[in-house]
C-alpha cells in the first residue's frame, strides 16, 4: 500500500483495493467455462455435425460482453475504495486587495522605465485578465496607507486609481496590510491609529472601545487557521523595507489569525540602486526576507520581479492562482457511473448479437 502514496489518486479506504485480486480469479473462471463449453461441443459424433449445430461461430464478439462486464466490476471495486483526485476547479476567491508601494524608492530605474510605472502597467494588465466577477480594491502606501479605490467590479475605476498614484516618502508595509484587512472585513471597525500609536486597543474592536473596557455586546474574536479564509486575498507589492507605521510582523499576525493569504511581490534588485531626490540620495534595497516571512506565515507565496517582464509574469501566475485551484475531490461517484454504463453496454451488445444477456 505504500506505493499508492506516489500515485496522483489517493483512497480513503485503500484496504478495499485488495478486492481487485478477484479480477484474475474471474478471468480464470471465464477461461474455464469457455474450455468446458468447447469440450462439451466436441462430444458430437463428428466435426461436420458440430459445424451444422453451431453454424458460423461468433468469433471475437463472444468475448466482448464478458470483458465489458469485467471492467465494470473493476470500476465498482475501485469506487468502493473511495478514490480522491486533485481536480482543477474555479476558485471561491471573490475579493482581491492590491496593496501597492508608492514610496520614493519606486522611482529607481533598475526595473524599466522605473519601478512605479512598471508596477502600474503590470497591475492594469492583471486586472484585464481577471474574471469580471472578482472584486478588487486598491490600497496605496508610503509613509501611510490609504484606500485609493474601495472594492469594486469596475475595472475602469481601478485603472483610473492606479494612474493617479503619487510618490511619497517612507514605507509603511504593516499599515498597508492592516488597511487591506479593513477593506476585507469592513464591519469590524478596524482602528489603525491604535496600532500605530499604542497597542492597548484591539484594532478590530469598534472605534473608541478598548480591550479593558466592558464590551458585553462584542463577540470575542476567535483565530482561524492561516490561509483558511477562501473569499479574499491580499497582493502586497513593494520594493523596500518598512521605515514607519504598524510593525510588519504584528500586521502579518492579524492577517494569519483571520485566515487571509498574502501574496508578496518584491520589485527591484536585492543589491538595490542609489537614487537622489531634492538634494538627498540613498540606496534602496529589496527586503526579500521580510516579504518571504509575510507570505509564509499567511500561507501565501512570494514572487521576485527583477524586471518589467518578470513583473508581468508574476501577475499572470497570480491570476491563475487566484481564479482556479486544485481540490482533493472524491470521484467514486464517477467510477460508479462508468461501471453502470459498462454494464448497460455489455447487456446491449449481448442482446444485439446473441439475443440473450450474456
Q: How confident is the model at residue 51 (pLDDT cuts 50, 70, 90)?
A: low
Can you tell me whether residue 261 is helix, strand or coil? strand
- What would the pLDDT profile of 9-40 be if each residue is shown by its tens digit? 778 888 888 888 888 888 888 787 777 776 66
How is residue 226 written as a grid cell?
Answer: 492561516
- What would the pLDDT profile of 196-244 be if each residue is shown by its tens digit? 654 444 444 444 444 344 444 556 678 899 999 888 999 999 987 888 9
- Distance separating alpha carbons of residues 285 and 349, to the nearest angstrom: 72
Q: How far is residue 79 from each of residues 15, 16, 68, 69, 84, measured CA to CA in Å?
A: 12, 10, 17, 15, 10
Number of neighbours of residue 203 by Cβ within 10 angstroms? 21
Q: How far is residue 198 from each of residues 194, 195, 206, 210, 246, measured CA to CA in Å?
A: 5, 5, 16, 11, 10
Q: Which of 199, 205, 193, 206 is nearest to 249 (CA)?
A: 199
Phi, psi of 266 (to 5 degrees): -95, 120
Q: How large is the average pLDDT for residues 280-296?
A: 83
Q: Give me the domains of the chain, ranges plus CATH numbers.
A: 2-87+330-354 (no CATH), 91-211+218-306 (3.40.50.410)
Listed as own residue / partner, the contacts of 306-310 with beta carbons closer than 8 Å and 24 or more positions apart are 306/110, 306/111, 306/268, 306/269, 307/111, 307/112, 308/111, 308/112, 308/118, 308/121, 308/122
| pLDDT for residue 191 | 65
Phi, psi of 307 (to 5 degrees): -140, 170
pTM confidence score: 0.64
- Spatial contact of 265 and 307, defined as CB atoms under 8 Å apart: no
| pLDDT for residue 129 | 85
How is residue 89 written as a grid cell?
Answer: 476547479
- What would the pLDDT profile of 82-93 be if each residue is shown by its tens digit? 888 876 665 555
Amino acid at each position: 500500500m505504500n506505493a499508492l502514496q506516489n500515485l496522483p489518486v489517493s483512497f480513503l479506504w485503500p484496504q478495499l483495493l485488495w478486492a481487485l485480486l478477484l479480477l484474475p480469479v474471474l478471468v480464470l473462471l471465464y477461461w474455464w467455462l469457455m474450455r468446458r463449453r468447447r469440450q462439451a461441443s466436441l462430444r458430437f459424433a463428428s466435426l461436420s455435425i458440430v459445424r451444422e449445430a453451431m453454424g458460423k461461430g461468433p468469433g471475437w464478439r463472444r468475448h466482448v460482453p464478458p470483458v465489458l462486464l469485467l471492467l465494470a466490476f473493476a470500476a465498482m471495486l475501485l469506487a468502493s475504495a473511495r478514490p480522491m483526485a486533485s481536480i482543477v476547479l474555479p476558485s471561491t476567491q471573490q475579493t482581491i486587495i492590491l496593496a501597492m508601494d508608492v514610496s520614493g524608492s519606486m522611482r529607481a530605474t533598475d526595473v524599466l522605465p522605473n519601478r512605479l510605472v512598471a508596477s502600474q502597467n503590470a497591475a492594469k494588465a492583471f486586472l484585464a485578465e481577471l474574471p469580471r466577477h472578482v472584486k478588487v480594491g486598491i490600497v496605496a502606501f508610503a509613509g501611510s496607507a490609504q484606500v485609493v479605490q474601495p472594492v469594486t467590479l469596475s475595472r475602469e475605476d481601478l485603472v483610473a486609481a492606479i494612474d493617479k498614484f503619487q510618490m511619497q516618502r517612507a514605507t509603511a508595509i504593516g499599515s498597508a496590510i492592516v488597511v487591506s484587512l479593513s477593506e476585507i472585513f469592513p464591519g469590524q471597525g478596524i482602528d489603525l491609529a491604535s496600532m500605530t500609536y499604542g497597542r492597548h486597543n484591539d484594532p478590530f474592536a469598534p472605534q473608541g472601545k478598548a480591550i479593558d473596557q466592558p464590551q458585553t455586546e462584542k463577540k470575542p474574536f476567535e483565530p482561524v487557521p492561516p490561509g483558511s479564509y477562501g473569499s479574499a486575498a491580499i497582493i502586497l507589492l513593494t520594493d523596500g523595507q518598512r521605515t514607519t507605521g504598524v510593525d510588519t510582523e504584528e500586521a502579518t499576525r492579524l492577517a494569519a489569525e483571520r485566515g487571509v493569504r498574502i501574496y508578496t511581490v518584491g520589485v527591484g534588485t536585492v543589491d538595490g540602486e542609489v537614487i537622489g531626490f531634492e538634494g538627498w540620495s540613498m540606496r534602496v534595497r529589496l527586503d526579500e526576507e521580510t516579504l518571504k516571512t509575510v507570505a509564509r506565515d499567511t500561507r501565501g507565496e512570494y514572487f521576485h520581479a527583477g524586471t518589467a517582464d518578470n513583473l508581468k509574469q508574476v501577475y499572470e501566475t497570480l491570476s491563475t492562482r487566484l481564479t482556479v485551484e486544485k481540490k482533493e475531490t472524491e470521484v467514486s461517484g464517477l467510477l460508479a457511473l462508468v461501471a453502470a454504463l459498462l454494464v448497460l453496454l455489455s447487456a446491449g451488445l449481448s442482446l444485439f448479437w446473441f439475443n440473450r444477456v450474456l
